[in-house]
Structures are given as C-alpha cells and as structure tokens.
A and B are shown apart, each in its own frame.
Chain A
Amino acid sequence: MLVLDLALKSLRNRAFSTSLTVGSIALSVALLIGVENVRVGMRESFSNTISQTDLIVGTKGGTIQLLLYSVFGMGAPTENVSWEAYRQWAEHPAVAWTIPYSLGDSHRGFRVIGTNDDFYRHYRYRGGQEIALAEGRASENLYDVTLGADVASELNYTMGDEIAVTHGIGEVGFLVHDHMPFTVVGVLAKTFTPVDRAIYVTLEGMEAIHWEGGAPPASDDGHVHDEEAEAASVDNGHVHDEEDEEVADDDGHADDDHAHEVETEVAAADDGHVHSEADLSIEDVEVTQVTSFFVGTTDRRDVLMLQREINDFEDEPMMAVIPGVALNEMWRSLGYAETGLRLVTIFVVMVGLLGMLVSLYTSLDERRREMAILRAVGAGPRRIVALLVLESVCLAAAGALAGLALVYVLLSVGQSIVEAQVGLFIPIRPPGFVELLFMGAVVTAGFLMGFVPALKAYRTALHDGLTVRV
C-alpha cells in the first residue's frame, strides 16, 4: 500500500511528464481500439451490403467472382444465364421473389445494370432497408434510366437529362451510342452500398444497348458480346453518327406503328442503316438473357435444398451462393489488409510505451536522492524495484483507460457524422473481449517495461548506498 501511495504521489508530482506519457499511451491505445471498432463496423457493413437475399445465382464460376459482379458491380462473368432458365427458377415453388440483373455496360465509368421492378421491390441492404427514390420514378420504359445517388451527384445529372450509354465498362466506352439517348427518370436515395454507383435501366433497355449499331439483331439468339461485331461497329462508327442526324429528321413521322418499325429496322440493320430507336417501346424488345439473379425463398429452410438443386441444374451451368457465406469468404480473403492495419497500430502502441520507458528512465537520475532516502528509512532494493514497476504499470493502466474512454468519446461524437459521410456505421458497445485483451496487453507490457528503469535503480541503490554522487 505504501509503495502504491508513493508511486501515485510521485507520478502526480511529475504531473507534466506523467500527463504527456499517459496522453501518448492513451492516443495509441485509442488508435488500437478505434481501428478494431472501425474494422468490426466495416466488416458488418460489408456483410450487410445486401440483406434478406437468400441466394445469388449466376453461371458456374468462382464464388467471389459471382459476388463481385452481381453485388459490387466489378468484373463480368464469362457466360450469361438464359431467360428461360431464369424464369424456370423464378417460378420454382420454394422461390418467393427474384431480382434479375443484366450487366455489361457503363456510362462514364459507372456500371449500367438492367433489372426490373423486382429490384425496387425486393432489394434490401443493411438490416432490411429498402431502396428508395430520392426523386422521380423507377425505370419502366425502354430508354428510362434511374441513377444511383453517387452517379447523380458526381456527374451532375438531373431529371430529364439525356445520357448515352456505352458498351463495355471502361471510363470511356469504346462505342458511343449518341444516337441511343436514355433519359433520367429517377434518382435513388443514398444507400452507402454499391447501389449508389450504378445506373439502372430496364432489362429490355439493356438488350437494346447490346444491339449492334443500335438496331435489334435479326435473330435474338445473338451473342451481343461478340468481339468481331463490336470491332466492326467501331470501324464504321463515324458513318453511324452522320447517318444518325439524317435519320433524326424523319423521327416522329412514323410513331403510329411500333411493331412495324421494329420489323423494318431489323431488316435495315444488316445494311448498316440506322433505325429511329425512339420509336421502339418496351413491348418490342424480347429479353433473352440475364447475368445473374437474386433469390428470396418462401421458407429459409429451403435455401440449402434450392442451392443444391441450382448447382445440379443440367440444362445450363449454374451456380448459387449464399451471400452471407460468400461475403465472409471474401472478407477473409481481404484479411491480410486487416492484419497489416492491426500490426501498424500495435507498433504505435509500442512507441507509446517506449515513450513511457524513456520518460521513466531519464527521471531516474534526478530521483537518486529519493531512492537514497527510501533506502535510509528501510526500503530494500526490491521495494525500489516495486515502486518503479508500479509507476510504469500505473502509467500504462491510466493510458489504457484514458484511451478506451477517448474511443467512446470519439464514437459518441463522431458516430453519426461518420455514418452520414461515408455510410460506415460503427456500433457503440461496452468493451468486449478484444478491448479487454488489448488493455491487458498494454498493462502487461507496461509491467514488463517497468523493470528496465527499476533494475537500473536497483543497481544504483545497491551501489550508491546512502551517498548520492550526482
């Protein structure tokens, strides 16, 4: 008790150096625990990118690849799923709803996704939140587009703007279909998920984008990704543009019969002539394929059964993954980044503790008199060691507690700000096992480091005796 009393009073006496030391340890501990909190928040936010979807279905391939292109809008599959196969599964008795996706195109670097009403009705993210429209309506006509929140804000698009959609997803698509104008009819509310960075058109609109030269293909089994066809289109792109203007003059004269228009344009497509696509309506287009689809089951107990059935589907190579499982797998594959981050913060804590070591060690010289007095009144060298180790432990413990407190203060102040700015929700929880482990480790490290100055003081105490040679 006496030694603890001495340690505390001694630290209080050196208030400035003590508070600096405690402060630096607190900051480093706050960083360690803060990073841990952010990591947990990121992981939860990541796993909640989509919710309530039981299965994601696409062509056979890698689990993470399927997740990447269907949820995160990155990359593309090698094969699509035929519309017939999609409908077959959509009507499966165990399936409550589906959301079909057709990918492949971009507009100024943002992914264009073809989907239908089911997306706006069934898509859920972050604990069951629904997709909401900030303004306008969902895409329903052939040339309607609905923008993700980031797309609208970054490209400065507003309702009624006409935009061109390109084939391929580079920053600048290699085919500019200026003649195929899509009109912005809606903007989605911000979700802080990949939804914000996508442009939504109808499935039919996506088919239309895929047409060579902007015209429906003669036959609808066409592989729209056919590279030869694209290359050809690039070659005569200028011709298209010129002709566009000429044809545009004729627009509006033949609005009365859509079906007729389609037939004539289909015939014209082979000649490189360009139709007037504004005359097409959604009924004129037949959707032939989807890239992937999300599935919600009527009874979650059927998920595994359904997954197995889809994986064993013989008509087409298909694969179904459970999003939670796949997201966890993906997160684990990113785990090295976490480990790196954690390592860095552990080093920061070490630096904080080394600062303490330096501070204690350099204070020893001016404390030789104090040690001699303690020796004179009967303190053994062990008490001297105990005093210095205890001071070190007190500093580390105070730093750890202050660091923990700092994390809670920052969280309570910054939680809503961070959520509003970057969409990362960091939960405020009582300190868990990890926090206690970190703090225990910091105090233990303080204890062990305390022996460095303590052993020096021990030797000095034995050697100096009651003399102090300063």
Chain B
Amino acid sequence: MTLRLTQIARILIGIWMTGVVLAMFLWIPQYEGLGNAGRIMILHVPTAWVSVLAFAVSAWYSAMYLWRGQAVDDDRALAAAECGMLFTILATVTGAIFSQVVWGVYWNWDPRQTSIFVLMLIYAALFALRAAIEPKEQQRKLSAVFSLFAFVTVPFLIFVAPRMADSTLHPNCAFAPNSSCDGITLRQGSIGLLGDRKVQLLALEEQGDTVVARVQVSEPGLTSEAVLEPTFDLTQGESVVEPTFPGLRYRLVVQSVDPANGTVLLNIHAPGTGILANQRTLVTFLASLGGFTALFFWIFSIRTSLLGVAWLLEQREVAHL
C-alpha cells in the first residue's frame, strides 16, 4: 500500500515539476530589468525554503528521538538533514549564479547568504559528527543532541546577520509586503552610503512639478564616479526617472522629497522588487514552492525507509555472527 502510494506520488511530482519547469521558461513573461536570469527565482526561492524546512524537520525528529528513543525517528532526522544539505547547495548555487549575472558578484555576505552558509556548516558538522562516532546508539543520541543545540542558536543569526553587511541585494520588499528597505535621507552636499556605494547629493532642482536630484555615486575605493539624476514627481508623489547604478542592474530611486528641509530619501531598488506582481509568475512560483515541498517530503520518506532497511540488515548480520 505504502509502495503504491510512493509510486503514485513519484509520477505526480514528476509531472508537476515538469509543468513548473516548462512554465518557468515558456509561460511566464521576462521580468523587465532582469532578463532571462530572473527565471531562476522560480527555483531559487523554493529550494531555499526547503533547506530551512528540512532543518526544522530534522530538529523536530531529533527531539522526538530523544523523547521516545525509537530508531525510526533518528532515521527521519538524518534523512531530513541529508535532503536539507542537498537543497542548501542548490539554493546557494542558483543564488550565486544569479548574483553573478545580475550584480556582477558571486558572493556578498548578504544576511541571507550568511544564514544559509552557517546552515550549510551546521549540516556538514552533523555529518562529520555521525561519521566520527562508531556505536550506533551513541551516534544517534549525540547527533540528536547536536542537532537540537544547533537549532537553538540559529535564531540569533536572524538578529546578527543584518549587521554583517550594510546592504542586501535580496529584494526583501518583493517577498514580504511589510518589510522596509530603509534607504537614506540626504540634504544638499551631504554624503551617505547605499549598499557599498558612496552617494553624495550634489544639488536638488525643482523643474515645475518634478524634482531632479543630482547624485554623485562613487565606486567602492573611489575608483570611479558618476552622476545620476533620478527624478520625483511632486504632484503624483512618485519617482519618475530611475537610473541604474553604473555597471550594476539595480536602480537609484527617490522615494520621497521634503522641500521644506531640502532633503530627499534615496533608496536602491534591486531588480526583482515586485517580481511577483505578475499573475503568471505568481502562479508558477507558488506551484514551484508546492512542488519542491512535496519533492522534499517524497525524498525524505524514501530515504527514511532506506535507512530503516539498512539498519535491519545490519542487525541481521550481527545476529548471524
């Protein structure tokens, strides 16, 4: 019965994921500013989600193992950790490729990059620990303890990681509607930092209803400079011209103007902000999210039963001896 179910699940997931991949390349529109590289988001975000889910599942079954002491719970924890490692690698690699294509850097120590890197280290440590302990019972118990202990410290990363880099290239505003991308407020002549670029507001000119901000942007290390002129429509209350940073795909945006004080709020719009506004993209994205989650649980259940069989065989061998 279970065998039949996994067979059916395999076929269903196969068809589903094929549909997602086809839709990803053929059905959804190209996102303006990202080109075809933007399509990788359909894979990147769900794999990242699954790697976090797997970590939580692994910790849950570790706790269950310590609670009930049944070998199957430890097998589940190990299976989840193995899937998690797989998906963590997928998420990191797809993200790095995208980052290189769009922003010109493979790695930036974004908060999310930091978190997933630490997650990868934890998974690797877990496997190293399992490999280093011989008696099966001890191996199960100690790795369950480590898994739980690691799970407890991970939330601190969420507070700490944003301190590591001033900027994030991940478009936070796209996926969490209420999150804020802060930006900086500048008055004429003052300087500030957007990402790793130094920006200086040279002048603020009102031309009728639109305000033109002349902003000098300097590369890190002041190797080169450029003057960008984003504009803002005072009557509509929205930005009009959004020039891209030289050599990068993200744009400089005037978010608001305070004419009384002569200040402007400047911000970065990463490409991808609002990527899910398109209906087709949203549907494909959600389908991919569901598909990857199902895929995870499918691999997870197969791997768990394999581990169980391996354990039974091992015990039988011991009994023969």
A and B associate: no
Residues of B within 8 A of A (CB): none
Residues of A within 8 A of B (CB): none
